[in-house]
Amino acid sequence: MSWRRLAHGEAVLLAAVCVLLAAGGFVRWLAGPFPADIVWAVAAGVALVPAVTWVVADLRAGRWGADVLAVLALGGTIAVGEYLAGAIIAVMVATGQLLDKAAARRAGRDLSALLARAPHEAHVRRGERVDLVPVDDVVAGDRVVVLPGGVVPVDGLLCGAGLFDESALTGEAAPVDRLAGDAVRSGVVNAGSAVELAASATAEGSTYAGVIRLAEQAAADSAPVTRLADRIAVWFLPAALLIAAAAWIGTGNPERAVAVLVTATPCPLLLAVPVAITGGMSRMSRAGVVVKGGAALELLGRATTLAMDKTGTVTGGQPQVTDVVCAPEVAPERVLADAAAVEQYSPHVMAGAVLRAARRAGVEPASAVAVSEEPGWGARGRVGGREVTVGRLESGRELPDWARGAARRGRLDLASVIWVETDGRLVAAMLVRDPVRTDAARTLRRLREAGLRHILLLTGDHVDNAVEVAALLGLDEVCADASPADKIERVRSGREDGVTVMVGDGVNDAPALAAADVGIALGSRGSTAAVQAADAVIVDDRIDRLADAVEISRRSRRLAVASAGIGTGLSLVAMAAAATGFLVPVAGALVQEAIDVAVILNSLRSLRGPLRLRHRRPDVLLHRFAREHELLLPARSAVRQAADALAEGAGPEADAAVRRAYRLLVDRLLPHEAAEETQLYPALTDILGGPEGTVTMSRGHAEIERLVRRLGRHLTETPIQPDQVDDLRATLYGLDAVLTLHFAQEEEAYFTLTSGGAPQP
């Protein structure tokens, strides 16, 4: 029934008129029956007029369906003099229309909020003054000032630390701390003091504008899964007419036929389905995923195959320095300070990795002069009177032993190597990789639990890197070195086996996103092409939103189908009761009204998740310890460096390296582990269902402490003796392995529980 043709105000007016007439007729019935029938007949006529216009419009468009039943039920009650039943049906039609509109308005509230919050003006610094200008006048490079409580108007890079409410984009309420140099997306709210940022895009090209465009599409798009209702109506209408005709012919009583038609009014079928789908779209919006229409949500709810890009989707998309291998007698902090001094002037992606590594280690870049860059090779400059070069090495260059070991580690770890030279001497090698997201493994487990049978990695990256990532995450298939054409072909072949979803963020992913049944783009760093080609967009940089979207879409579709099926089944039972005389028209109308309300309320459950015990997550603690993991990278690196330093046997350099590692472990790492045991793990007990959830991690802490104590006993000898070297190296390498595994387990198991996810480096 196309009741959505009425605007919300018109639906309110129709419902009010029908309810007042029905109630007025009841009042007149108490005073005397004659006026009551007239008032009830008028109520039925008021609802009949728009219903007839809907049927005529559908027939002209070549459609027919359950609208006919509403017309027959209303007309039949008037024809046989069942005016009270007609008035009840009129109220049912009008209130059903109002329920539909109210549900749609409630479900679309989050999308409308995005449109209402769009900033129209921005404060731009012009020299010493700050001007208020139209947001469309802001260009990349402008210094934009965001006042407390203000909405960030354009994407940009922070000039200082700030606190932001990102709930409009992510759906999460907890404010997020951002540091100087961090990217901030338009649409988030400044929850702290005034901040300044350097615009990196215009308002039209910023994140929030893209989300608004998607929201407008979503708000304007009706739920195509309503076609399910039309398909059911094709057999439901003839069945209702046959049952009504049989009741009339079998009994000779036309009231039986009217009673059947009254109970056959298919409101649950045509209201419950769009309410469930629209509610699911609203829920996905609050979960940080904007879907362009109900068709995408319905298909996502039936997905069986998932294809994922690697770089920027499964991995973080930003290279990170995973280790700093130094020449003997060279401290990693000095290397990072010198390298960052030179790289802070470079726009190269690897320069960003060096700067982030220095920031994690708490190292301030030194001052550099005469900085220059040679494309493809690296950058150089003078730092403290020394010539510092950061970048590649020419092929065939003779390397010292420690450098050959570093190069070999780079090959084994599938990492790039950034070399640092001082006055022509190699002093360090920085190993750089694009790590797998900490929330990727948890997300994939949730996707499999939701029903996805086949998950493949579809990437243009090299085979070795792709296989390594796929093996780490337990994916079913790897398609590496894939061109955009290869990706399209693989996605299309996947569609033959079931509904296929493609997730990506780059320009080269756009064709595959468009070719998939459902394309999902990561909007925070995704290309404009990817966002435009996708059917849904994850508006922040968290891949676990994908699992949220699949779970919500599956539940919304189940509710839509269940509501339609239950409502239709109950209507058939009521029709049978009416045909056999157990329900008179008035009682049938009341029964049908109860069915309508029940199935609509069931569909509205799609606006919320299933009932479950919700625990307060210790987000502050989780963020704190996740940040400490980053700051402990130098301590972890020192363990491996100390073990490597012992390769040449005992000596002053090796002794100094081992003692430095021990000091870092005792002063920094062990206090961190102790604080986790006494503060973080007890706070996680409720979330994990009891203390057993942290037993494995506690056992890891115990092993780390045991190895550190063993290392300390070694260092009672001064200096280190030759016969200690083998056991020292075994202890240090064992400690390095345990720390690597333990940190990875904590980051995946615990830090992805935070509302904002683990902090990105």
Instruction: For residue 336, give the nearest of 350, 320, 356 by alpha carbon.
Output: 356
**Cβ distance 266 to 69 under 8 Å?**
yes
Strands 195-199 and 378-383: unpaired
Q: 3-state class of 583 per DSSP?
A: coil
Overall size of the chain counted in residues:
761
* Cβ partners under 8 Å of residue 626, min gap 6: 747, 751, 754, 758, 759
Q: What angle do CA 403, 409, 415 make, to 5 degrees?
A: 110
**Cβ distance 542 to 288 under 8 Å?**
yes
**Cβ distance 379 to 343 under 8 Å?**
yes
CA distance 87 to 66: 19
User: How crowded is residue 397: how many other Cβ atoms within 10 Å of its Cβ?
Assistant: 9
Instruction: For residue 552, give the nearest of 171, 747, 283, 316 by alpha carbon.
Output: 283
**Cβ distance 724 to 650 under 8 Å?**
yes
For residue 165, which phi and psi values (nearest 5 degrees)?
-95, 110
To which residue do tokens 């390298």 refer? Answer: 339
The active-site residue, picked from 100, 142, 309, 434, is: 309
Encoded tokens for 151? 């909405």
CA distance 525 to 486: 23
736 is catalytic: no
To which residue do tokens 């190597």 refer? Answer: 417
Mark out the alpha helices in 432-537 (DSSP H runs): 440-450, 463-473, 484-495, 510-515, 528-533
Distances (CA, A) of 5 to 8, 29, 97, 112: 9, 34, 9, 20
Q: For the CA atoms of 545, 551, 557, 561, what is the dihedral angle to 10 degrees? A: -170
620 exposure class (CB count in 10 Å sphere: 0-12, 13-18, 19+):
exposed
205 exposure class (CB count in 10 Å sphere: 0-12, 13-18, 19+):
middle
181 exposure class (CB count in 10 Å sphere: 0-12, 13-18, 19+):
middle
First to last CA, the chain: 53
Instruction: For residue 658, give the nearest of 704, 702, 717 by alpha carbon.
Output: 717
The amino acid occupying position 745 is Q
Strands (E), 249-367: 289-291, 303-308, 320-326
CA distance 607 to 590: 27
For residue 146, which phi and psi values (nearest 5 degrees)?
-110, 120
* Cβ partners under 8 Å of residue 724, min gap 6: 650, 714, 717
Handedness of CA 533, 536, 541, 544 (dihedral sign): negative
Instruction: For residue 339, give the nearest of 316, 327, 322, 356 by alpha carbon.
Output: 356
Encoded tokens for 243? 């049952």
Active site residues: 309
